[in-house]
Amino acid sequence: MPRHTGYRRLFALPGTRAFTAGNLLARLPAGMFSVSAVVMIAGSRGSYALAGAVTATGLAATALAGPWLARLTDRHGQARTAVPATVVAVLGSVALLLCVRYGAPDWTLFAAYAATATTPNTGGMSRARWAHLLDGDAEALHTANSFEQAADELCFMLGPALAGFLCGTFFPEAGTLAGAVLLLTGILVFTAQRSTEPPPSPAPQSGPPLRVPGIPPLLAGFVATGAVFGSLEVVTLAYANAAGHRAAGGAVLALQAAGSCGAGLLYGRLKPATAPEHRLRGCLLAMTALMTLPLLAAVTLGSLPALAAALLLAGMATAPTMVTAMTLLQHRTPEGRLNEGMSLAVTGLLLGIACGSAAGGWTTDHTSPTTGFAVPLAAACAAGSLSMLGNFARCGPI
């Protein structure tokens, strides 16, 4: 029998196809909920400011609850933690839908959406399963992390489009309702695959990941990278709106995600030739260089098609950067705390996205959308500077 290689090798392992299918179902709503909430709330209450404030509250609550929930997952197992947490999150989504539908006071929207912060970190749980199954096989784990990053990009590319279609075609609450159903179904399928679940660590012998040398600067890199994503989204939408093509903004952003998805899958087929610390430095420098393209396209060409092409190319560095950073984080996270480590990375990204969105919006409002493309470039430079200073390579794998 021929030996499987690359992605075929991963999915030849028993149980991997089933848990991946469930995880993808559960992960797709991550790109649906915020768009659905904005459409639903703004359409009912006539206020994008209120819709943005509600979704920002949910983002902040997720950043706070994520590490705590991940710590419980490490201690008690994925199935015992993820299912009840998902039920609470789904009830929060349903409560939000009902509050909007029946005109409840504004404060109830904040409370309901905050309850969705218990949504499990599905991508982190999937990566933890791969790390458990591929323990000691660095090449296969690199491929698995590349697949997971491509899956993230695909879900965030398809999720908003699906949410917009459902809300526009059926009724404003359809996106939120469908997202809740997909999330619950996906988690039930995912957690039913007990043979691939990492064993719980009721009493981990090591301290929290934040106390491990080398992890705090790595998390700072996740914050800076998240700022790239957050600012690029806001500035691109503002640029498309200023050019009179508001509806095209989402499609242009989808090209950036498509470039990242394709690059991530290709990157996963390459055999790592150097240590992840060195690869991460190269990826961050490449991301910094490619983030100059959207700014140059906006300043010199001033056309939306040129910007779309620039974003497609710029996106090709983001997935390899995230794949390598996640691999390094897995190496450095203490045994028995992998879900917590993955959750801290997501918290860093969320913080960066929030800061980047705010900075990109402020720059766009006070200067111009064209100048706003300097913000993601500055964030990429910050991440690259950290790598040049050696912060990411200060401590090798534990």
**Is the CATH number of domain 206-398 1.20.1250.20?**
yes
Rounded to the nearest integer, the mean pLDDT of the chain is: 84
| Percent of the chain as helix, strand, coil, to the nearest 5 | 80, 0, 20
Q: Are 204 and 337 in contact (CB under 8 A)?
A: yes
**What is the distance of C-alpha 349 from the center of its chain?**
7
Q: Find the Cα–Cα–Cα–Cα dihedral 81, 86, 87, 89, rounded to 10°.
A: 130
Token pair 């290709």 in the structure block, residue: 266
Query: What pLDDT is stored for residue 393 in this prediction?
Result: 43
Return the structure tokens found at 73.
């997952």
- The pLDDT assigned to 33 comes to 86
**Average pLDDT score over residue span 211-226:** 85
Q: How far apart are CA 5 and CA 134, in angstroms?
A: 14
pLDDT greater than 80 at residue 161 = no
CB 293 within 8 A of CB 310: yes
Whether the pLDDT of residue 287 is over 60: the answer is yes
Residue 277: predicted pLDDT: 82
Across 23-32, 149-158, 229-238, the highest mean pLDDT is recorded for 23-32
Is 300 a residue whose pLDDT tops 50? yes
pLDDT of residue 1: 31
pLDDT tens sequence across 46-72? 876 788 788 878 878 888 888 888 888
Q: Give pLDDT, residue 247.
A: 62
Nearest to 231 by CA among 369, 100, 113, 119: 369
Here the tokens at position 293 are 């393209």
Extract the tokens encoding 142.
């690199």
Which residues make Cβ contacts (< 8 Å) with residue 68, sequence separation at least 6?
Answer: none
The angle formed by the CA atoms of residues 397, 149 and 379, to the nearest 5 degrees, is 80
The answer to whether 180 touches 94, Cβ cutoff 8 Å, is yes
pLDDT at 273 over 80: no
Tokens 């491929």 label which residue? 143
Q: How many CB atoms lie within 10 A of CB 278?
A: 15
Q: Please state the rounded mean pLDDT for residues 113-142.
A: 87
pLDDT at residue 93, as a whole number: 94
* pLDDT reading at 205 higher than 80: no
- Using the predicted structure, report yes or no on whether residue 87 has a pLDDT greater than 80: yes
* Report for 59-68, 191-200, 261-270: range of highest mean pLDDT: 191-200
Q: Where are the domains of the chain?
A: 16-142+158-197, 206-398
Q: Compute the distance between CA of residue 237 and CA of residue 212 in angstroms, rounded to an integer.
A: 39
Number of H helices, E strands in the chain: 18, 0
pTM: 0.77
Could you give the CA distance from residue 22 to residue 123 in angstroms, rounded to a whole number?
A: 11
